[in-house]
Structure 1
Amino acid sequence: MTTDINSAKDDVRQRIWSLLDARRIGRSGPVHGKIPDFHGADRAALRLAGLEGWARARVVKSNPDKAQAEVRAEALAAGKLLYMAVSKMATPEPFYELDPAAIHDPVEVASTGRWAASHAPHISVERMHPVDVVVCGSVAVNRAGVRLGKGAGYSDIEMGLLADAGLIGPRTLIVTTVHQLQVVDEELPDSDHDASVDVIVTPAETILCPPRRRPQGILWDDLQAEKIQAIPALRARRPVQ
């Protein structure tokens, strides 16, 4: 069954990537195999910044992809504490902590993960603050809030770790910014470990999704041993067999 779901997810990803590339939607080149960096991402970030839930937020956790660069810049410019995951969560302290008080140029800092890798301190889950908004990168999403990432699974693991630590919960707003062509009017395959989004923001539309599935923590039975071994934060928390 898991193989069937993964295959169905990949079919959707391939279709959306092909559509976006055929329409030249990528503002930094072809998007195939990536979280699409779409034309209008800056406008979607501004629309997200106008939401009440965003305005109230003090702590934001965001994906590091180019499509959400302006979202991260908006967070820092507004004085919000920003967390980003270390690439592939390959260190025992798997998140970067970006303190807006220490950053003079939010746009430059937020444009890529390079600044964080060189300058931002790493932080463990145990030392993080509760997260008010989680920003996800998506390849496809539907109006029920089901989203597909690019298939690596790191976003689910990041949210699972934070949920296990009590840092995200029912009041955490989960959002994604996408191009309109990434919003599909169809059922999307999802698994038990997939959290849904509360809000979808495009350059021209804000879509409020029905309450559905919150992050549940790490579902160990769904993780391959190789993935656990590759991520120190998972190895440290793996239940004793």
Structure 2
Amino acid sequence: MDHKSSVRERVFGQLRKVAYADSRFHFDFGEFIADFQGSEQALERLVNHRFYQQAQVVFITPDNCLEMLRYRALQDGKRILMTTYSIKRGFWLLDPDTIAPERWLYAATLDGMERHGRPMTLAQIRDELPGVDYMVTGTGAINEDGVRFGKGHGFFDAEWGMLYRIGKITTETPAAAVVHDCQVLAETLYPEVFDTVVDAIFTPTRTIEVADPHKPTCGIVWDLLDPTMLATIPPLRELQRMEPQLPPL
């Protein structure tokens, strides 16, 4: 953890030079994933990549750098599954077929998604949605092998674990990270058993594809889960209640 903290400190110092401040969190990168100079070019690389082109249902995290991706996905007729407020407000579905086109841009924002999206329980996701085709996230730092260092809370790994456990994603489901070039590290990092290593990294200047990325198959490791996350995140408590009825891993 000390090594991770030192990596974040080093990267966040560089990121401050190119990031856009958040009106709520200023430059506190421990509280949000920032948008940054050149994110438009990074997103253009993503939407022209085969993973996005082949996807119909896309999970997109509520990160600042992905707001315009959510708008683009609605324009492209894709359904978006996302979470908000550190997963504490649960999963939401944005469906372009049920949102007026003139509201798509607002629906792509964190405030607008709750006005125009549909809240979904894990049971509803399991029973009503087809598989999620693509998982997209921002992150604090990442190396060229796709190992992420986020804000340190593990939200994306929890989202992967929940969706994997209810059968909506598999080890073949691609995952991607959108970051500034200064957030990409050359050093070797080692994922934990529950860490989701991405298949592709999109920066303003590069598309990095990762060979044989590690995808966790453990669901939620309850013994290692921060008790605060279980206490404050309703979907985790729902999954815990569902566990006895789910097939064994």
For the pair 1:101 / 2:94, whether they are aligned, the reply is: no
Contact 1:89 1:95 survives alignment (8 Å) = yes
| 1:159 alignment partner in structure 2 | 160
How far apart in 2 are the matches of 1:236 and 1:61? 19
Task: Please report the TM-score for the alignment, with normalisation by the length of structure 2.
Answer: 0.86
Deviation at 1:107, TM superposition (A): 2.8
The correspondence for 1:127, drawn from 124, 132, 144, is 124
Deviation at 1:189, TM superposition (A): 4.7
Contact 2:107 2:116 survives alignment (8 Å) = no
Deviation at 1:7, TM superposition (A): 2.4
| 2:115 alignment partner in structure 1 | 118
Aligned in 2, Cα 1:27/1:224: closer, same or farther, shift over 3 Å? closer
For residues 14-25 of structure 1, the aligned pairs below 5 Å read 14-21=9-16, 24-25=17-18
| 2:233 alignment partner in structure 1 | 231
- Name the amino acid aligned to 2:119: H
How far apart in 2 are the matches of 1:150 and 1:57? 27
- Partner SS for 2:86: helix
Task: Please report the TM-score for the alignment, with normalisation by the length of structure 1.
Answer: 0.89
| 1:185 alignment partner in structure 2 | 186
- Name the amino acid aligned to 2:142: V
- Name the amino acid aligned to 1:210: A
Deviation at 1:31, TM superposition (A): 3.9
Contact 2:147 2:196 survives alignment (8 Å) = yes
| 1:57 alignment partner in structure 2 | 55
- Name the amino acid aligned to 1:100: P
How far apart in 1 are the matches of 2:230 and 2:159? 13
Contact 2:138 2:178 survives alignment (8 Å) = yes
Output the aligned Cα RMSD: 1.8
| 1:3 alignment partner in structure 2 | none
Contact 1:196 1:213 survives alignment (8 Å) = yes
- Partner SS for 1:71: helix
For residues 37-48 of structure 1, the aligned pairs below 5 Å read 37-48=35-46
- Name the amino acid aligned to 1:48: L
Contact 1:8 1:189 survives alignment (8 Å) = no
For the pair 1:201 / 2:197, whether they are aligned, the reply is: no
- Partner SS for 1:97: strand
- Partner SS for 2:229: helix
How far apart in 1 are the matches of 2:60 and 2:239? 23
Aligned residue pairs total: 230
Contact 1:97 1:123 survives alignment (8 Å) = yes
- Partner SS for 2:92: strand
Question: Which 5+ residue runs of structure 1 have no aligned equivalent?
Answer: 1-5
- Name the amino acid aligned to 2:153: A
Contact 2:162 2:239 survives alignment (8 Å) = no
Contact 2:196 2:214 survives alignment (8 Å) = yes
Identical counterparts, % of pairs: 33
| 2:71 alignment partner in structure 1 | 73
